[in-house]
Structure 1
Amino acid sequence: MKKRLKWIAISVVGFLLVLAGSAYGYIQYLNGKLHHTQITADKDGRPPAAAKDSQGRSPMNILLIGNDSRVGEGRRYGAEGHEGLADVAILMHLSADRSNATLVNIPRDTMVDIPRCEIGKGKDKKVTEARFGQFNDSFRSIGASCTVATVDRMLQVRTDHYIEVDFKGVRDLTDAVGGVPICLDAPIHDPVLSGQRGGTGLELPAGPNNLSGNDALQFLRARHAFGDGSDLARIEAQKVFLMALARELKNNAKLSNVDGMFKIANSAVSALTVDNDLAGVDKLIDLADEIKKVPEKRMAFTTLPTETYRPAPDQVQPRRPAADNLWAAIRADRPLTEGDPAADPPPPPVTVPPSAPPQTIAPADAAKIRVTVDTGTAKKRITPVVEALKEKGFKATSGTTMPDGREHANSRITYPEGKQDQAKAIATALGLPETALEVARSGDTTIELLIGADLPERDPNGSPTQGSSSTPPGAPPEPPKATDLNLETADNTKCASPRKK
């Protein structure tokens, strides 16, 4: 497996926090260096926006993307000319009242459903078909807009903005702030070896270190230097870096210097790509002001709960119900941290938006709806789902296992043009969200249901089995369990733990 970037899109947060107060003329200059494109490439429509709180305030979801492109970097970071994948993706959720934030790192090797994506027009048009694959592959060909579409499907709530950063952004930002202080409880020795699993060449002593430029980038990329040498272990080390950088940016007096702010802004902005609605330094400043409202102790960093993906042990899949509970907490704007009663006002009560009334279909109408039920691996799951649909009046037939032979994380209902209402009726009958709907390829004439891990197990008669972890539509989300989250907060000054030799 190629050595790939797994640095966190930390430079983004730093860049945002220091732009406020810059001179107008300089901001206009920076605007000309800022790259931007459309927010999503999903052609099947977007999920709803996050619900407002009882005071009419809106939460915000921002996707931070780390692009590991080697274009222009030569051979020092691996395959020369590598165009890049979404090797880092962090969903930053800001609560409606801005009292807390949750940052969820989505491991790059997570197996997910990637929707059909399309961007551009005419000869510049690019299209990738829907597929089941590694999360970081969502970036291929289309770019960040398809990664946003993939996260929309996972979260089932709209992503408001995205910010993409590359190698240069990490190097230049850490140089501009004078380095990021990192504590190590043991030395790091990550020698460059022959083959694809070689190290980064990073050598650091135990104790305090100040990392900037290439040293910072190597620390964030060093996969085999931490824990058990896995990608997930590297994520834990990256949390330490991110928390240290957040503290540095908030507390370092050097950032109050106008020259210092200009240096950071000028070095970072050319390495950023944002969505069209965020394409302006003034808009980034506004976003920075929102982020700065969150206290360090209420800025929570976690990783999407995963487990080994059985068909390919080097990959992982969302671990249920832990992953579902985390996404549900974000959709409902539930904080993962507790406030300080002496300092924080009591939060407004969390309200779950009422679900749309179930779609009712007369038996005669349901009988007109034909659907073929397929599965990824477990063919025994087909019959119970077919029976459940027949019980509700649908004309359901058994299909086959898919050629990829993999269990898909999310169920999918593909439908021909003009049959969206019928597909919605099937989704409602099974308790699936509308994000499960997808337009079929041109020429397909039937509705097909692909059973995913999110569809509750059913007995041979079609009834849900006891112990099903699926939450009924409209029910309040189950709070995530602390043991599933491995939570850290920005005020944590823990040391990183290098891999034991």
Structure 2
Amino acid sequence: MSERWDGGPGGQATRSRTGRVPGQREGEAGGTPRPGGRAAARAAARSQGGSRARRRARPVPRGRRVLKIIGMGLALLVLGTAGAGWWFYQHLNGNINSVSLDGKGGSEKADAFGRTPINILVMGSDGRTSKADCKLGGGCSQTGVQTGNGNADVQMVVHISADRSNATVMSIPRDTMVDIPACKDSASGQSTSGYYGQINGALRYGPACQVATIHQLTGIPIDHFVKLDFSGVVKMSDAVGGVSVCVNNNVYDTYSHLKLSSGSHTLKGKAALEFVRSRHGFGNGSDLGRTVSQHIFLSAMIRKFKSAGTLTNPTAVYGLADAATKALTVDDGLGSVKKLIGLAADVNKVPTKRMTFTTMQTAPDPHDPNRVVVGAGAKALFSSIADDQSLTGGSGKKSAAASATATASAVPASQIAVTVENGTEITGRASDIAKALTGQGFSSATTTANAPSPATTTTLTYGTGQKAEAQTTAKALGLPTSHLDEGTGSGLTLVIGNDWTRGTTFPGGSSSPAPADTKAAVSNAQAQTADEAKTCAKVSPFKTVSLNGVAMTPAQAYAASPDKKDSDE
């Protein structure tokens, strides 16, 4: 039978096998046992008289208590922050509306380093699919809130190069007449077997149909899309704290309701929407003039987004992220906060001086003076984007191609001398390529040398005004466009890299198309770069608006409407 540790009859504790009373400490005076067993021991411990009680009642040092409180507070703060961060992430993901492209836009090809360009179709929808859009866009007094996708009144192909060093934004006017392919909207079930019509109408059959139409027209692989509606523009402009723009004259577009005095303005909310929607206020009063003012607006927004004040302000960043995820419809490939952040990081790598905004060249539609068709130079612009060619020089300054207005004339091979440098460890590579060039009729002044350092990739660097010579050389060697680079010196220097260790035709380059002529690509394309902060939108000098039934210029309408507040007031 086991020994009991509780008290015996009369409160006398039962002795242990050691002969000591449980609870008695060796050396205690008299060795007198405590009465009452465990219960009595606990009571004694709570009393102020016992030595054990005195030890337990000893106060904890103040510093230790403070540290304990701080530690508990920090733990709660970490848990709270982590919980808030997770909630924020889930909240933003929940805002995103994504749609599958079903491979309708083709796919990008990687360069020699495994890097791929990014091509995104940015669409602005005129759909009045919410009360907010009806209020902003009007036209719902009889129809009410509408369903469907509306028309893509803004269409911009945004190209970010494989090496993230440059970008091109090409607007396609909404009035362009093209072939619409067979499409079916997976959401609404609306379908078409294909037809010839206005390009912006393809969006009625879903975003994937608009992407397929642009891909078919341009040959540019488009693997992503972003769609905004009226309220989306308002949210985005508010999130960045307003966008600064400039107009070169007083303007009152009685259709979009934009009213601004000559000079600079910071536009938010509805005023920003009026600016990007205005087609009668700028240029010749058509959609062609509107694309230029939209480029000015987007350039200013990008500069604001990339500014240190925006990116380092947590409130601004949260507002921007929350507005963006609420305002955008995207493809599945961009359908998470992580992917959108990655895209923003890629855009942020490109300097504004190397972001080129262009408008697709057009010509009047012979069957309808109010519509346009693809014009001369457009194919060169399409090719430059598809081939990942930059429309700015390496320094960010406009290249000779970007400042010219005529197509480069061909240069005979006999007039072209190339310095061929061996950047590989294989002896005789430069001599092999040089012989191949002279064998095709290139100048006997072609020379060889060792490159200053080993080269991973083959590059052909050309001097100012020698783009045409470089194109002729690249075509002869099957060298893709992405390997051409405009330098600051003179002459042509071909550095053979480790991506070309044998043969006299660049690997996989025998069927490569000749580099696109970037002079033709930007001719009549209204090219400008995003760093041009002083560029003002040009108010239309024509009678493109009407006030009280009288046709007048936007400046005249402004003067005739002193009682109407300006849009930025």
Bucket of the pairwise TM-score, normalised by the shorter protein = 0.5 to 0.7
> Is 1:311 aligned to 2:367, yes or no?
yes
> Is 1:483 aligned to 2:523, yes or no?
yes
> Which whole-Å CA distance do the structure 2 matches of 1:282 and 1:204 have between them?
39
> Which whole-Å CA distance do the structure 2 matches of 1:237 and 1:304 have between them?
15
> Which whole-Å CA distance do the structure 1 matches of 2:456 and 2:177 have between them?
39
Report the CA distance between 1:261 and its aligned residue.
Answer: 1.2
- Rate the CA distance shift 1:87–1:64 in 2: closer, same or farther, 3 A: same
Determine if contact 2:304/2:310 at 8 Å carries over to the other structure: no
Q: 2:174 aligns with which of 108, 114, 135?
A: 108
Match of 2:48 in 1: none
> Which whole-Å CA distance do the structure 2 matches of 1:335 and 1:240 have between them?
20
Determine if contact 1:188/1:204 at 8 Å carries over to the other structure: yes
> Is 1:155 aligned to 2:221, yes or no?
no
Match of 1:139 in 2: 203
- Rate the CA distance shift 1:264–1:217 in 2: closer, same or farther, 3 A: same
> Is 1:183 aligned to 2:246, yes or no?
yes
Deviation per CA, 1:22-50: give whole Å up to 9, x if none.
944312211111101111485xxx64x33
Gaps of 5+ in 1: 1-21, 192-198, 356-471
> Which whole-Å CA distance do the structure 1 matches of 2:341 and 2:152 have between them?
25
- Rate the CA distance shift 1:34–1:349 in 2: closer, same or farther, 3 A: same
Letter in 1 for 2:537: A
> Is 1:283 aligned to 2:343, yes or no?
no
- Rate the CA distance shift 1:347–1:170 in 2: closer, same or farther, 3 A: farther
CA-based RMSD of the aligned residues comes to 2.8
> Which whole-Å CA distance do the structure 1 matches of 2:235 and 2:168 have between them?
26
Letter in 2 for 1:312: D
Determine if contact 2:152/2:203 at 8 Å carries over to the other structure: yes
Report the CA distance between 1:179 and its aligned residue.
Answer: 0.8
Match of 1:172 in 2: 235
Match of 1:63 in 2: 121
SS of alignment partner, residue 366 of structure 2? coil
Report the CA distance between 1:202 and its aligned residue.
Answer: 2.0
Correspondence list, 1:433-472, <5 A? none
Q: 2:184 aligns with which of 100, 108, 118?
A: 118
> Which whole-Å CA distance do the structure 1 matches of 2:364 and 2:195 have between them?
20
> Which whole-Å CA distance do the structure 1 matches of 2:297 and 2:458 have between them?
33
SS of alignment partner, residue 74 of structure 1? helix
SS of alignment partner, residue 314 of structure 1? strand
Structure with greater helix percent: 2
Determine if contact 2:185/2:206 at 8 Å carries over to the other structure: no
Determine if contact 2:172/2:360 at 8 Å carries over to the other structure: yes
- Rate the CA distance shift 1:40–1:108 in 2: closer, same or farther, 3 A: farther
> Which whole-Å CA distance do the structure 2 matches of 1:341 and 1:313 have between them?
38
Match of 1:86 in 2: 152
Q: 2:382 aligns with which of 297, 310, 327?
A: 327
> Which whole-Å CA distance do the structure 1 matches of 2:261 and 2:395 have between them?
37
- Rate the CA distance shift 1:120–1:301 in 2: closer, same or farther, 3 A: same
Q: What is the aligned length?
A: 347
Letter in 1 for 2:189: K
> Which whole-Å CA distance do the structure 1 matches of 2:195 and 2:216 have between them?
13
Determine if contact 2:136/2:231 at 8 Å carries over to the other structure: no
> Is 1:296 aligned to 2:352, yes or no?
yes
> Is 1:273 aligned to 2:329, yes or no?
yes
Deviation per CA, 1:422-442: give whole Å up to 9, x if none.
xxxxxxxxxxxxxxxxxxxxx
> Which whole-Å CA distance do the structure 2 matches of 1:139 and 1:341 have between them?
35
- Rate the CA distance shift 1:323–1:281 in 2: closer, same or farther, 3 A: same
> Which whole-Å CA distance do the structure 1 matches of 2:190 and 2:121 have between them?
22
> Is 1:336 aligned to 2:391, yes or no?
yes
Letter in 2 for 1:167: F
> Which whole-Å CA distance do the structure 2 matches of 1:484 and 1:477 have between them?
19
Instruction: Report the TM-score when normalising by structure 2.
Output: 0.57
SS of alignment partner, residue 484 of structure 1? coil
Deviation per CA, 1:101-144: give whole Å up to 9, x if none.
011001111111111012439xx63322111111101101x221
Deviation per CA, 1:230-276: give whole Å up to 9, x if none.
11111111111111111111115144111221122222312211111
Report the CA distance between 1:76 and its aligned residue.
Answer: 4.9
Determine if contact 2:220/2:385 at 8 Å carries over to the other structure: no
Match of 1:414 in 2: none
> Which whole-Å CA distance do the structure 2 matches of 1:294 and 1:158 have between them?
20
Correspondence list, 1:6-45, <5 A? 23-40=85-102, 42=104
> Which whole-Å CA distance do the structure 1 matches of 2:458 and 2:199 have between them?
35
SS of alignment partner, residue 219 of structure 1? helix
Determine if contact 1:182/1:240 at 8 Å carries over to the other structure: yes
Letter in 1 for 2:235: D
Determine if contact 2:299/2:530 at 8 Å carries over to the other structure: yes
> Which whole-Å CA distance do the structure 1 matches of 2:316 and 2:232 have between them?
16
Report the CA distance between 1:74 and its aligned residue.
Answer: 3.2
Q: 2:537 aligns with which of 493, 496, 500?
A: 496
- Rate the CA distance shift 1:249–1:33 in 2: closer, same or farther, 3 A: same
SS of alignment partner, residue 88 of structure 1? strand
> Which whole-Å CA distance do the structure 2 matches of 1:231 and 1:346 have between them?
46
> Which whole-Å CA distance do the structure 2 matches of 1:176 and 1:492 have between them?
22
Higher-Rg structure is 2
> Which whole-Å CA distance do the structure 2 matches of 1:302 and 1:312 have between them?
24
Determine if contact 2:292/2:526 at 8 Å carries over to the other structure: no
**Which protein, 1 or 2, shows the higher relative CO under an 8 Å CA cutoff with sep ≥ 6?**
1
Determine if contact 1:40/1:146 at 8 Å carries over to the other structure: no
Percent identity, aligned pairs only, is 37
Deviation per CA, 1:409-463: give whole Å up to 9, x if none.
xxxxxxxxxxxxxxxxxxxxxxxxxxxxxxxxxxxxxxxxxxxxxxxxxxxxxxx
Deviation per CA, 1:470-500: give whole Å up to 9, x if none.
xx98531431324232211010021111123
> Which whole-Å CA distance do the structure 2 matches of 1:348 and 1:206 have between them?
51
